Structure 1
Amino acid sequence: MTMLDIQRVLNQDRLLRALTGLNRKAFDELLDSFSLLYEQSRQSQPRQRAVGGGRKARLLSTQEKLFFILFYFKCYPTFDLAGIIFDLHRSQAHEWMHRLQPILEQTLGKQLALPERKLTSVEEFVVRFPEVERVMIDGTEHPIQRPKDPQQQQRNYSGKKRRHTRFSLGSSRPRQASAGIE
């Protein structure tokens, strides 16, 4: 079985963008910081085996490692699929993802490009993005069984659907409604 031809992908900007979300210039800039932090992380971990011992590596260069972790976060394949694409066992794909994720986060954090992942309330959102005046949330109403409790009935009743529903965010169903937060 052969691994994905990473050099071919790196030479085609459209393909690189599709698989990692970055163009070649951005990838190369990120690679410098990533390589430095990866080498620092290797020096802080003691070796389990002598040099040359153990299974032969599939992701040889830091360029391949960076491509792997960017591909993982862009496409979110299962570890089975990532293993097939990169010629790894699924457990190795899992291990590489967990080993490389903190290095990527640290690299992006140093470049001030790390996205805010979890906002738990509207107040946090307002503090983080004070200039935003209006937000559109994409979601879907799913029918639920009518609750027995009158307060729950009132809270879950949808006048739009004339039934009891639960609103969920980020659904990929065809019928989607938008709700504004002001």
Structure 2
Amino acid sequence: MTSPLARIESHPHEAKRLIGINYDQFLALVVLAEQRHIEKQAELEKNKVRIIAKGGGRKAEISPKEGVCLCLVYLRQKPIFEILGLLFDISKTKANDAFNYWVDILREILPASQIEEVESNSQKYQELQRMLSEYELIIDSAEQAVARPVDYQEQKKYYSGKKKMHTLKNQFIILPNGEDIVDVCVGMLGKMSDINLFRDTRNKFLPSQKFLGDKAYIGDDAITTPHKKRKNTEISEFQKQENKQLSSRRIAVEHMICRVKIFRVASDRFRLARHRYNQVIMAVCGLVRLRINRLFSVTIST
């Protein structure tokens, strides 16, 4: 059986279909991931009480390059871990462990949004806020199915009346024309309304910041929304044209959400432990930013 890594090395043009990013992006990602892996191992070594000499013990069954590829295959294709282990010639338990280890590393090296890139630096954060205030940012949310909780009270928290299933909700705020992800908020309860979720995260932006949203956001003065038809009345032709123009601008956020859902772990029902949800979906958002070339031009140079 040909491994996914061998396949994309012999057929680089197939990389995006198999792992979600192109081959050059994959190679750049491996370099950064391996650097972070070495740093983590050095940190562990400092605190380790050795019983045997360094270099002893069982050797790693997969290389860092294979580990990154394994992680990307799971995020893009979402096979069961038995199959993932077969693809990389390891057990399902080691496939699971490898995925969890490398997805944490991807999460550390791939900022999920512009705000996450600069939030640790107050000066850069303020500069970004001022820059963003010049745009009308586009906002929307998406829901993802999760397993129904056993406890009835927990079921009520996760139940989405809109989707008629138990879900987690993610909010995306992007630049006009879908140029980049400005902010992403993931793992909210499915029953939470879009407008309340927005109001909970509104403080990340300047008070003057303007947004563009769909009818779910009607009622907030900061968000431009479509005209809504009232009961027993029709909207005018002029209002219909305005709605059409607004939709043509707002479609960019739908396209961005579609890019996230290219990774099946973010579109199908979430099978992993629920406490892993935020980590995994934020890692996917970082990969999407890498996929649209909004990330490594900055990251690699630093």
Q: Classify the TM-score, shorter chain.
A: 0.5 to 0.7
Which region of structure 1 is more displaced relative to structure 2, 123-132 or 97-106?
A: 123-132
Q: Matched residues in 1 for 2:33 and 2:2: separation?
A: 22
1:51 equivalent in alignment to 2:58: no
Flag structure 2 segments of 5+ consecutive residues without an equivalent. 118-180, 217-266, 270-302
Distance 1:171 1:132, change over 3 A: farther
Paired residue type of 1:124:
L
Q: Matched residues in 1 for 2:108 and 2:268: separation?
A: 31
Paired residue type of 1:132:
L
After superposition, give the CA deviation of every residue in 1:28-70 in whole Å (9 maximum; x if it has no partner).
Answer: 222222121111111122467642422x43312x222111111
Paired residue type of 2:57:
G
RMSD (Å), alpha carbons: 3.4
Distance 1:10 1:135, change over 3 A: farther
The SS at the match of 1:58 is coil
Paired residue type of 2:18:
L
The SS at the match of 1:45 is helix
Q: Matched residues in 1 for 2:37 and 2:9: separation?
A: 20
Q: Matched residues in 1 for 2:81 and 2:19: separation?
A: 17
Q: 2:212 aligns with which of 120, 126, 132?
A: 132
Distance 1:14 1:124, change over 3 A: farther
Q: Matched residues in 2 for 1:115 and 1:20: separation?
A: 22
Aligned to 2:23: 24
The SS at the match of 1:118 is strand
Structure 2 contact 8–14 (Cα < 8 Å) conserved: yes
The SS at the match of 1:31 is helix
Paired residue type of 1:71:
V
Structure 2 contact 112–184 (Cα < 8 Å) conserved: no
Q: Name whichever structure is richer in helix by fraction.
A: 2
After superposition, give the CA deviation of every residue in 1:113-159 in whole Å (9 maximum; x if it has no partner).
Answer: 796432443222464796331179xxxxxxxxxxxxxxxxxxxxxxx
Q: Matched residues in 2 for 1:37 and 1:91: separation?
A: 23
Q: 2:86 aligns with which of 57, 69, 84?
A: 84
1:118 equivalent in alignment to 2:122: no
Structure 1 contact 80–89 (Cα < 8 Å) conserved: yes
Structure 2 contact 67–99 (Cα < 8 Å) conserved: no
Q: Matched residues in 2 for 1:171 and 1:20: separation?
A: 16
Cα deviation for residue 25 of structure 1 reads 2.2
Structure 1 contact 3–87 (Cα < 8 Å) conserved: no
Flag structure 1 segments of 5+ consecutive residues without an equivalent. 137-169, 173-182
Paired residue type of 1:53:
G
Q: Matched residues in 2 for 1:3 and 1:133: separation?
A: 46
Paired residue type of 1:51:
G
Structure 1 contact 59–65 (Cα < 8 Å) conserved: yes
1:13 equivalent in alignment to 2:27: no
Larger radius of gyration: 1
The SS at the match of 1:117 is strand
Aligned to 1:145: none
Q: Matched residues in 1 for 2:110 and 2:268: separation?
A: 29
Aligned to 1:108: 110
TM-score norm. by structure 1 comes to 0.60
Distance 1:131 1:110, change over 3 A: closer
Structure 1 contact 119–125 (Cα < 8 Å) conserved: no
Paired residue type of 2:61:
R
